[in-house]
Amino acid sequence: MNSTMGPKEIVKEIVAKKDVKHIIFVGCGASKADLYPAKYFLDQNANQLRISHYTANEFNFATPNSVNENAVVISASLGGTTPETVEANAVAKDKGATVISLTRVVDSALTKDADYVIYHGFAENYATKLEKTGYCLQLAVELLNQVEGYEHYEQMMAGFDVIYKLSQESAESARKAAKQFAQRFKDEKVVYVMSSGATHEVAYSSSICLMMEMQWINSGTFHAGEFFHGPFEIVDKDVPFILLMNDGKTRSIDSRALAFLDRFDAKTEVVDALDYGLSAHVDESVVDYFNPFVITAVFRVYAEELSYSREHPLTKRRYMWKLSY
Amino acid sequence: MNSTMGPKEIVKEIVAKKDVKHIIFVGCGASKADLYPAKYFLDQNANQLRISHYTANEFNFATPNSVNENAVVISASLGGTTPETVEANAVAKDKGATVISLTRVVDSALTKDADYVIYHGFAENYATKLEKTGYCLQLAVELLNQVEGYEHYEQMMAGFDVIYKLSQESAESARKAAKQFAQRFKDEKVVYVMSSGATHEVAYSSSICLMMEMQWINSGTFHAGEFFHGPFEIVDKDVPFILLMNDGKTRSIDSRALAFLDRFDAKTEVVDALDYGLSAHVDESVVDYFNPFVITAVFRVYAEELSYSREHPLTKRRYMWKLSY
């Protein structure tokens, strides 16, 4: 297991050794969602690499045929002990795939069957919470560029140079809006969260983790493009929605949902990457892929303020860390 | 536009003309979800074909690079008029992709830019409601078999021979259980729906369409493998969950979720393909892919009974068919 190399060097070593055909992202919960921007980037841009994304136990119990010596499996687990993801690394290794793992805990169980490990921060500040997503996206960019070529590689690299600072500053400037959100939403019984593009699974993790897991608030989530094909019939005056708005190609999808929510007086909270100046800092050709960074950082502040106003710490659990299951 | 050929002949004609590399599934809401078993089948079994699945407006506004002359785009719209999906066909055609569309309405807008159209039933009985899913899965099997080869082709064909009759009979035998479900769940304010494997998006459409759209009941949905990574913290005595249980490789994922729900006295309704004899009729090598048929048919009866007990017709809408949006 090598943990001293960065994304570019890791990919260089892999493509020198093998014919990479399949990129498979594996994780659970928030760590699965954090891999999504990289999956979305490759779905958008790749023409040869095959891309898939699984919750770890589906990967383990219904292992795809493409998990073989031509596959690179990228897995993530914050604490490095998620049993399903640790097992996924063993499954991947057994099938001859190359395994790259992301975790913050040195020598954790996840690292055992990984060929390469990238350690990332988390607790230090809002920016370090984005490193898991960021390293995964960098791996995706390197895989695409080194296997197929990618015309906007330089713009992506310039984006990585600025996105952590911008996200940290965005989070720090969001406190006042977050406090207002917390006061408006603290007594809600059901809160919906939606987005589109690379931010689709930020909405997902905001719903299943920040709302359901960390606040015990009922929640549902769906792609903003799907809103008009079922979910919108739930809209009525004061029904609570959180809309994570993207700058870039899918903005019009988010805007259309917002117009509908406003038209029927839903109780809507918007977190908009445009408000934090994303497109002033990142080139238009790649702006789509950096929305999840700014929005994740800002919405973390919203979740913190919600937890304070509800007097329910984000770390409080009924089952996790308490029981075997 | 050709509408006289079946899946096998359509694929034969396409692969004779072009090098098929990308299979892209496009739809909205329930029609997007109905394409998922085919997407799942190819994710599981393909080694060369690239697979993706989009809600139509994301496909339209952030069109992947792989939508080109090597792509087959498979789209679906029940009534054939869903504007986003009609537009997706135009986008796909403009990029040189081959378009196959599924709809029940002859000469509907969806057929305009399609190279091939397969018309399917819907309203006649429970079995015909599965034809959209079935034709799409047949297309996937033919694409895999004719491009790469597929070792369980005969078992899949045998499965298609029996699945409609089994699903119809399953639905007809589910009435009593469905009435009991309806009485138990008719006053619930929030209902969660989950599943795994090929049935993952049956849970999704049951949540966003049958619950939210057609009953105005709050709902959330997630993969049963994700349940333990966030959503399970919402579980408490009498919290309502619907678990769609699969026969096959992912059954242990569903079973683990059930054990947890039972342990904490959640209000759980189980719809289990095993109860309807799926594995007695379909070979073990392909049983995973036929779960969505039996479960969709049975759960339709559950939704009907819920609508009767709530005196809220499944066809009642606030916005759809009434407004422009």
B225 contact A CB<8A = yes
Q: What is the pLDDT of residue B162?
A: 98
- The answer to the question of residue A19 being in a domain is yes
End position of a domain, from candidates A115, A150, A185: A150
Q: Are residues B196 and B120 in the same domain?
A: no
Q: Is the pLDDT of residue A32 over 90?
A: yes
Residue A44 scores a pLDDT above 90:
yes
Say whether B225 and A325 touch across the interface (CB within 8 A).
Answer: no
Work out the pLDDT band at B1, boundaries 50, 70, 90: confident
Say whether both B63 and B179 belong to one domain: no
What SS3 state is found at A245?
strand
Same domain, B221 and B243: yes
Same domain, B182 and B121: no
In a domain, A320, yes or no: no
Range of the domain at B45: 7-150
Question: Distances from the Cα of A135 to the Cαs of A26, A40, A148, A281, B114, in angstroms?
Answer: 14, 14, 20, 19, 40
Q: CA A69: distance to chain centroid?
A: 27
Q: What residues of B are in contact with residue A29 (Cβ under 8 Å)?
A: 226, 229-230
Average pLDDT over residues A205-230: 98
8 A C-beta contact, residue A235 and residue A260: yes
> Which of B103, B131, B150 is a domain's end point?
B150
Is B115 in the same domain as B47? yes
B278 and B192, same structural domain? yes
Question: What is the reported pLDDT for A164?
Answer: 98
- The answer as to whether B1 is a domain residue is no
CATH number of the domain where residue A35 is located: 3.40.50.10490
Give the pLDDT confidence score for residue B271 in this predicted structure: 98
**Same domain assignment for residues B210 and B139:** no
Token pair, residue B208, equals 């966003």
Do both B68 and B140 map to the same domain? yes
CB-based contact, B2 to chain A, within 8 Å: no
Q: What is the share, in percent, of chain A residues with pLDDT greater than 90? A: 99
DSSP state of A201: H
ipTM above 0.85, yes or no: yes
Pull the structure tokens for residue B311: 């005196």
Q: Is A45 an 8 Å CB contact of chain B?
A: yes
Strands lying side by side in the sheet with B240-245:
B218-223, B190-195, B240-245, B267-272
CB contact (8 A) between residue A234 and residue B216 = yes
Residues B111 and B218 in one domain: no
Q: What is the pLDDT of residues A166-183, one digit of tens each?
A: 999 999 999 999 999 999
User: In total, how many domains does chain A have?
Assistant: 2
For B41, half-sphere exposure in the C-beta direction (CA atoms, 13 angstrom radius) is 31
Long-range contacts of A199-203 (CB under 8 A, 24+ apart): A199/A37, A199/A244, A199/A246, A199/A273, A199/A291, A199/A292, A199/A295, A200/A36, A200/A40, A201/A32, A201/A33, A201/A34, A201/A36, A201/A37, A202/A33, A202/A36, A202/A244, A202/A292, A202/A295, A202/A296, A202/A299, A203/A242, A203/A244
User: Do B141 and B167 lie in a common domain?
Assistant: no
Per-residue pLDDT of B262-312, as tens digits, reads 999 999 999 999 999 999 999 999 999 999 999 999 999 999 999 999 999
Using the Cβ of A25 and the Cβ atoms of chain B, whether some distance falls under 8 Å is answered with no
In-domain check, residue B314: no
pLDDT > 90? residue B59: yes
Within 142-201 of B, beta carbons closer than 8 Å to A belong to 189-190, 196-197
Task: Give domain status of residue B206, yes or no.
Answer: yes
User: Which tens digit of pLDDT belongs to each residue from B6-47?
Assistant: 999 999 999 999 999 999 999 999 999 999 999 999 999 999
Amino acid at A303: A
CATH of the domain at A216: 3.40.50.12570
Cβ-based contacts of B241 with chain A (< 8 Å): none
Q: Write the pLDDT tens digit of every residue in A79-119.
A: 999 999 999 999 999 999 999 999 999 999 999 999 999 99
By the 8 A CB rule, do B61 and A253 touch? yes
Best mutation target among A196, A210, A213, A233 (most B Cβ atoms within 10 Å) is A233
Query: Which among B31, B196, B218 has CB closest to A218?
Result: B218
- The CA-atom distances, in angstroms, between A81 and each of A61, A103, A145, A153, A320 are 19, 9, 32, 34, 13
Kindly report the pTM of this predicted structure. Answer: 0.98
State the smallest CA–CA distance between residue B147 and chain A in angstroms. Answer: 15
Contact B318 A235 (CB under 8 A): yes
Domain identity same for B300 and B167: yes
The answer to whether residue B232 neighbours chain A at the CB level (below 8 Å) is: yes
The predicted pLDDT at position A1 comes to 83
CA dihedral of B25, B30, B31, B36, whole degrees rounded to 10? 30
Residue with tokens 């297991």, as numbered in its chain: A1
Q: Within a domain: residue A325?
A: no
Express each pLDDT in B156-182 by its tens digit: 999 999 999 999 999 999 999 999 999
What 8-state DSSP symbol labels residue A246?
A: P
Last residue of a domain, one of A150, A177, A205: A150
User: Is A157's pLDDT higher than 90?
Assistant: yes
Instruction: Please report whether residue B60 resides in a domain.
Output: yes
**C-alpha dihedral over A133, A139, A141, A142, to 10 degrees?**
160
Our CA-based measurement puts residue A230 at a distance from the nearest CA of chain B, in whole angstroms, of 5
CA-to-CA distance for A81 and A197, rounded, in angstroms? 30
- Tell which B residues from 66 to 105 touch A, by Cβ distance under 8 Å: 66, 68, 82, 84
Q: If you measure CA to CA, which chain B residue comes closest to A223?
A: B55
Q: How far is A46 from chain B (nearest CA, A)?
A: 7
Give the three-state DSSP class for A219. strand
| A314 inside domain | no
A12 lies in the same domain as A87:
yes
Q: What distance in Å separates residue B324's CA from the closest CA in chain A?
A: 10
